[in-house]
Chain A
């Protein structure tokens, strides 16, 4: 397999803009279908969503998908047909396993502020399992710096589990000038959720930019010396 470092700029992402939603898609989604852009490794959806105050995604179904939601700003209320309910906020990792099928809603409970979050879908390693849910506050770990496992199918104790043994989501709230190394995996998807970074062999990246690495080793990632950065990095091996 050929090494590749593919930079995708924020403003090149397809967009779904509704009165209540501004969603930018890293991959094909909804009406935006591009057969050459459907996934990177096991990651099939990475949506950068802003939902207006008091609105959101009313109840809708999912099936056979591991869905991880990461709030960047504001709050998001989750309710599902399995009886799970949770209020998501920055630093609270949430995973919903759709399994055999589940209905859920994602609403912004605030009447005075938008909510900004990233929703990511990864293919499960087993289909038709019972739906499941997990959430975990990882703010303490993030505050210690470096990359932190947020969601993992590889038995990282400090992360929420996902039903995909070949995938790990790493998150980092990098201090200005902080250096980390991107995980070495067959497929890596790096998303700059906030701030800015410089990635070895790719150059400067701003919020909303993403990089798709294929067999690219462990390039160095340095946070902007003034504003730092928040990054989400999927490593997948399948």
Chain B
């Protein structure tokens, strides 16, 4: 990796910095989620400014170099994901709730999400309650909340009201709104919306299997992880050059199969750099848009999230 370029890997035991000096912060904590303060999504926080979700129970702000401060303790079902918004942090939870955490540490359930159309139809294949699984904010401020299993809901009024978009049964695992098309990693391929999330198409051309758990945009290209299903059998990484056309399998520097799903939050990209983690605690990085990969560390504790610095 280039000097100064690092990867922050959230794990079941602390936040591990790969490259850029290395080190472990927040040891003993499960780093549930991580987002840059300036970026819309969990990538490239400027000067290492980050917001982290720890143990599913508290929100912390930090510089990614050991200085962290708890800003809010959360009650209720465990928190699962987060995204920075203009007036604080939006946190998703188990049982499919949203909590708005203010800059003053206040935490309030987002009532509009509780009242979202179609909520009664959200479910899980195992019969339990659905979770809010991923969040995204587009450059124009539109908010996206992915429920598993409940599709993707969109808010264009700062989170006051939410409307369903993609079909619930598309089984979305991650939503991403980096500018340009809104993207969704789903069980049926890559969901792509060219109209801000109103309508969606599914892209599968070139994939050996359509069960996608993670998506990232690296430059104009799109990276996804794909496998045969929840067990992660025959898991691989793919790149869609220019965001159009078929997917191409990423092979250079990677094993034949990745040994389990590259899960939601385990794949990130910024500029030409990208990185992802595997279930066995290996992190791979690329600096050429995902064309060639190197294993940059191995043996990490169970990975929970990943971001680039």
Contacts and interface: CB of A to CB of B under 8 A. Distances in A.
B126 A19 contact: no
B127 A30 contact: yes
A119 to B, nearest CB: 9
Interface in B114-159: 120-128, 149
Interface residues of B, number: 23
B188 A31 contact: no
Contacts of A19: 187-188, 209-211, 228-229
Contacts of A21: 125, 229
Interface in B211-234: 211, 228-231, 233-234
Interface string A17-53: 0111101000001110100000000000100000011
Which of A23, A52, A54 has the most B CB atoms < 10 Å from its CB? A54
Contacts of B229: 19-21, 52, 54-56
A61 B128 contact: yes
A181 to B, nearest CB: 33
A154 interface: no
Contacts of B192: none
Contacts of B233: 53-55, 111
B25 interface: no
B82 interface: no
B168 interface: yes
B121 A31 contact: yes
Interface in A59-101: 60-62
Contact of B230 (A45, A53, A58): A58
B13 interface: no
A52 B125 CA distance: 14
Contacts of B123: 30-31
Given A19-B210, A20-B211, A60 B187 contact: no
B127 A52 contact: no
B213 to A, nearest CB: 10
Contact of A55 (B120, B121, B122, B230): B230
A34 B121 CA distance: 12
Contacts of A29: 127
Main secondary structure of the interface of B (DSSP, over half): loop
Given A18-B187, A19-B211, A31-B121, A55 B231 contact: yes
A107 interface: yes
A31 B125 CA distance: 9
Contacts of A108: 231
Contacts of B187: 18-20
Contacts of B124: 30, 60
Contacts of B234: 54, 111
A22 B228 CA distance: 14
Interface in A99-146: 107-108, 111
A16 interface: yes
A58 B213 CA distance: 13
A167 to B, nearest CB: 19
B228 A30 contact: no
A57 B228 contact: no
Contacts of B122: 31
Nearest to A21: B125
Contact of A54 (B121, B127, B128, B228): B228
Given A52-B228, A54-B231, A55-B229, A18 B171 contact: yes
Nearest to A106: B126
A52 B211 CA distance: 12
22 contacts: A18-B171, A18-B187, A19-B187, A19-B188, A19-B211, A20-B187, A20-B230, A20-B231, A23-B125, A30-B123, A30-B125, A53-B233, A54-B231, A54-B233, A54-B234, A55-B211, A56-B229, A60-B126, A62-B128, A107-B231, A108-B231, A111-B233
Given A30-B124, A57-B126, 19 more contacts: A18-B187, A19-B187, A19-B211, A20-B228, A20-B229, A20-B230, A20-B231, A21-B125, A21-B229, A30-B123, A30-B127, A31-B149, A45-B127, A54-B234, A55-B211, A55-B229, A55-B231, A56-B230, A56-B231
Interface of A: 16, 18-21, 23, 29-31, 33, 45, 52-58, 60-62, 107-108, 111
